[in-house]
Structure 1
Amino acid sequence: MQGDSIANKKNEEVDLQELARVLWGKRTMILILTLVSVLCAAAFAFLSKPEYEAKGYVVPPTQKDIENFNYGRARDSQLTPYTIKDVYGVFTSYFQAESLRQEFFNNIYLPSLSESERQKSPDRLYADFSKKIAVALPSKDFAGRYSITVRSDSPARSVEWIHQYIARASDLAKQELLANVMREVEVGARNVEQQIATLRNVSQKEREDSIIRLREALQVAEALGLERPLIITGNPAIEITGNMAGQLIYMRGTKALKAEIENLESRKSDDPFTDRLRELQAKYDFYKGFEIKARDVSVYRMDGSIARYDTPVKPVKSLILVLGLLFGLVVSCGAVLIGYLVTRGRSASS
């Protein structure tokens, strides 16, 4: 009984040499299945739309690139000068912004797709787009340098998309910076205009006050019969002339007082007699004529040229063919062995 049991167990065990003979006997079928698998892999590799990659790098602008932002913005003025960090910070915020990615997706990426490709769900389309455009943060070795990698079905299109993406981020950053500059200029112009109006109002009030004082002095001079300025001599001699102030104004005489009153009343403008007015007017004219053009400034620099790769990064044909070969071998050998084991099990049970 024990011998029969051992014999049965040996019969049930799988002999590796026997399996090798089975596989060799079915080598034609295995070869055909493997060849079919390789052909399918080759068809996928050569018929799939290739993807080409391009990569570009951006770095902060130079001081010369941003100097027009600081036109008239001295440190002792009300307008704080912009630094390279300020300007580049605005650019990189747009460069990484999700809003720019969505705008690029809607305006550039979607129109490049065929009608059938656009039939996918919006989420799927945007997921595919996100795999094709990637913005990388700076590394420790290259602080401030950002990279952008783009994949598309054409090397030229990949490079073009990088140019378009960077240019759009630059335009948005310039628009924000220029808008901020012009708002500050407008506020500065309003402040200076208010100061000018205040000075003119004060100057007018002072002229009116002077006329009142002169009229009172004229009354005193007429009462005293002083027609000409009174000259007082002594040791030392003192001459009271037209620069008298306070209660001695009447000593100028009626003729001088009347002439001065007439002159003040007929004065058309107090501007020539207003301190700091011309300085403020020059500052106001500067603000009103202030202008910066977007082409005169730059918010980034390209670090080298855009790297264009004419060899597709996807699909990797050699890898696909190798995987097709392995898949064909595994599936065909597995099918042969499963068939052999099933047949052997039936024979043993019968």
Structure 2
Amino acid sequence: MQETSSLPTGTDEIDLKVLVLALWRQRFVIVAIAVVVTILAVLFAFVSKPIYEAKVSIIPPTQNDIANYNYGRTVENELTPYTVKEVYSVFTRNLTAESLKHEFFNSYYLPSLTESERSGSQDKLYAEFSKLLMVSLVSKESSDRYMVAVQDESAEKGVELVNKYIERASELAKKEIKNDIRSEAQVLARNIHQQIASLRDVGLKDREDSIIKLREALMVAEAIGLERPPIISGSSTVEVAGNLDGQLIYMRGTKALKAEIENLESRSSDDPFIKKLRTLQTRYDFYNSLESSILDVKVYRTDGVVELPDSPIKPLKSLYVLIGLMVGLIFGVLVALIKNHLSSDGIRLFGRGTGAKSV
């Protein structure tokens, strides 16, 4: 009778002790490679140009900052006052607009590049610029607080670009609001001007009508030979002489009627005799001068000032050294294992199980 017992065959297992021994034999190789890679990482960290970041937080203006926008904006003047939220929303819309970024890209970024750098793809250059200039909300909880940051090799230039970018957004916001105020005031001024023109037309027609009435009264007075108004005791002069709406105008007499007709015909303007005209002219002048009365307005505030950064954000030298050390060790271990495997007297890391037969 023959019995066969077998151990697992065809299995390769790494002996940890053997692995450590193999690595120990190649320790100088591992250390040498780790040192070289770390030195290269250090050199790269020190050779790389430092990148500085200038940034500042933007917050809404105060009611006092926008006070001049609300000059004369009352219900009586048919103008609704501006709120801080409305003014700040115009500013933030311009601050985050792609049009402003493109303007800054063409005005500041492209001129700072060399001729060879500008010859590349404009889309690629703009994508790089967008990474350097960032406008974002500080947090979802603070929906009215924005952060403007610029990364540049020059700390001074970064601060300058941040200030210029914010100021340009402010200029565009002020211009937009000023245009809105001008348009609104022009519409109201045109309405007032039309009312003034209508009143003047009515005043001219009234004067022409008065002259016609007075001429007819003069004909009556001349027909009856009435040169001066009669004096009748016990009666009011107004009742006897009458007025332009009455029937006794001729009772004023020819002298008075001729003088009044001559005065009306030589009158250069009817403005002093038109009711409410001066009030409308005052309102018209107010609307026309409304735009020029807007002075010293702020559409935003900065939470602090744009400080000159004293340390770069890139490259992080300590991180580069750590990564270089880790990569060097890993690469050194791989080289050591390969070298051990290829060497004729290398330590075998794998042991193969063999089958045994017994009778």
TM-score (norm 1): 0.86
The residue aligned with 1:22 is: 22
Q: What secondary structure, in the 3-state scheme, does the structure 2 residue paired with 1:57 have?
A: strand
The residue aligned with 2:69 is: 69
Structure 2 CA distance for partners of 1:293 and 1:262, relative to 1, 3 Å: closer
Structure 2 CA distance for partners of 1:242 and 1:134, relative to 1, 3 Å: farther
Deviation by residue 1:243-268 (Cα, 9 ceiling, x = unmatched): 53322223333332222222212222
Which amino acid is the alignment partner of residue 169 of structure 2?
Answer: A
Larger mean Cα displacement after TM superposition, 259-268 or 30-39:
259-268
**What's the Cα RMSD here?**
2.9
Deviation at 1:69, TM superposition (A): 2.4
Structure 2 CA distance for partners of 1:80 and 1:8, relative to 1, 3 Å: closer
What is the distance in 1 between the residues matched to 2:265 and 2:114?
82
1:205 aligns with 2:205: yes
Which amino acid is the alignment partner of residue 149 of structure 2?
Answer: T
Q: What secondary structure, in the 3-state scheme, does the structure 1 residue paired with 2:64 have?
A: helix
The residue aligned with 1:318 is: 318
Q: How does 1:266-281 map to 2 (within 5 A)?
A: 266-281=266-281
Q: Percent identity?
A: 52
Q: What secondary structure, in the 3-state scheme, does the structure 2 residue paired with 1:269 have?
A: coil
The residue aligned with 1:331 is: 331
Deviation at 1:124, TM superposition (A): 2.6
Deviation by residue 1:45-96 (Cα, 9 ceiling, x = unmatched): 1111111112201122223322222333333103333222222121111001
Q: What secondary structure, in the 3-state scheme, does the structure 1 residue paired with 2:142 have?
A: coil
Which amino acid is the alignment partner of residue 132 of structure 1?
Answer: L
Deviation by residue 1:1-20 (Cα, 9 ceiling, x = unmatched): 967x649657x432111111
The residue aligned with 2:136 is: 136
Q: What secondary structure, in the 3-state scheme, does the structure 1 residue paired with 2:14 have?
A: coil
Structure 2 CA distance for partners of 1:34 and 1:110, relative to 1, 3 Å: same
Which amino acid is the alignment partner of residue 315 of structure 2?
Answer: P
What is the distance in 2 between the residues matched to 1:295 and 1:111?
34
Deviation at 1:341, TM superposition (A): 4.8
The residue aligned with 1:223 is: 223
CA contact 1:58–1:300 (8 Å) conserved in 2: yes
1:35 aligns with 2:35: yes
CA contact 1:69–1:292 (8 Å) conserved in 2: no
TM-score (norm 2): 0.84
What is the distance in 2 between the residues matched to 1:181 and 1:22?
83
What is the distance in 2 between the residues matched to 1:14 and 1:272?
114
Q: Which has the higher helix share?
A: 1
Q: How does 1:250-289 map to 2 (within 5 A)?
A: 250-289=250-289
The residue aligned with 1:303 is: 303
Q: How does 1:85-164 map to 2 (within 5 A)?
A: 85-115=85-115, 117-137=117-137, 139=139, 141-164=141-164
Larger mean Cα displacement after TM superposition, 276-285 or 315-324:
276-285
Moved over 6 A (4+): 345-348
Number of residue pairs matched by the alignment? 344
Gaps of 5+ in 2: 353-359
The residue aligned with 2:174 is: 174
